[in-house]
Structure 1
Amino acid sequence: MSGPVVWREPVQDAWIDYNGHLSEPFYVLVFGHATDAVMDEVGLGPEYREANDASLYTVEAHVRYLDEVSAGSELEVRSSVIGATHKLLWIWHELWVDGRLRATEEVLGVHVAGRSSAPFPEDVADRVRAACVDAPEEAGGRIRPLPPAPVEEGSGGLEL
Structure 2
Amino acid sequence: MTRNTLHSLVIPSEWIDYNGHMSEGYYALVFSDATDALYLHVGADADWRAANRQSLYTVETHIRYLREVTEGATVSVVTMVVGLDRKRIHLAHELMLGEDCVATQEAMALAVDLETGKSTAIESGLFDTLEDLVVDEAPSYVGRRIALP
TM-score grouping bracket, smaller chain normalisation? over 0.9
Q: How many residues align?
A: 146
Secondary structure of the equivalent of 1:119? coil
Match of 1:120 among 119, 122, 134: 122
Matched, 1:141 2:144: yes
Q: Does 1:101 align with 2:93?
A: no
User: Once superposed, what is the RMSD of the aligned Cα atoms?
Assistant: 1.3
SS of the aligned residue for 2:31 comes to helix
Equivalent AA in structure 2 for residue 141 of structure 1: R
Secondary structure of 1:37's aligned partner: helix
Q: For 1:3 and 1:55, how far apart are their aligned partners in 2?
A: 24
- Structure 1, unmatched stretches of 5+, are 148-160
CA contact (8 A) 1:91 1:106 kept: yes
Deviations 1:125-156 (A, max 9, x none): 101110000211111101111x4xxxxxxxxx
Amino acid at match of 1:84: L
Deviation at 1:52, TM superposition (A): 3.0
Q: Contact 2:83 / 2:89 at 8 angstroms: preserved in 1? A: yes
Higher relative contact order (CA 8 A, sep 6+): 2
TM-score by length of 1: 0.86
Give the alignment's TM-score, normalised by structure 2: 0.92
What is the SS of the residue equivalent to 1:93?
Answer: strand
Q: Structure 1: how far apart are the matches of 2:129 and 2:73?
A: 33
Q: Is the 8 A contact 1:5 1:37 kept in 2?
A: no
Greater shift, 77-86 or 112-121, is seen at 112-121
The amino acid that maps onto 1:125 is: F
* Rg larger for: 1
Q: Give the match's secondary structure for 1:131.
A: coil
Following the alignment from structure 2 to structure 1, what is the Cα–Cα distance between the partners of residues 2 and 144? 26
Q: Quote the Cα distance in structure 1 between the aligned partners of 2:13 and 2:53.
A: 35
Mind listing any 5+ residue stretches in structure 2 that lack a counterpart? none
Alpha-carbon deviations, 1:77-136, whole Å to 9, x = none?
Answer: 000100010010001000011321100000000011211111111111101110000211
Cα separation, 1, equivalents of 2:2 and 2:61: 24
Cα deviation for residue 2 of structure 1 reads: 6.2
Give identity over the alignment, percent.
Answer: 38
State the 1:67 CA deviation.
Answer: 0.2
Instruction: Output the CA distance in 2 between the equivalents of 1:83 and 1:15.
Output: 32
Give distance in 2, aligned partners of 1:117 and 1:144. 30
On the 8 A contact 2:78/2:94 being kept in 1, the answer is yes
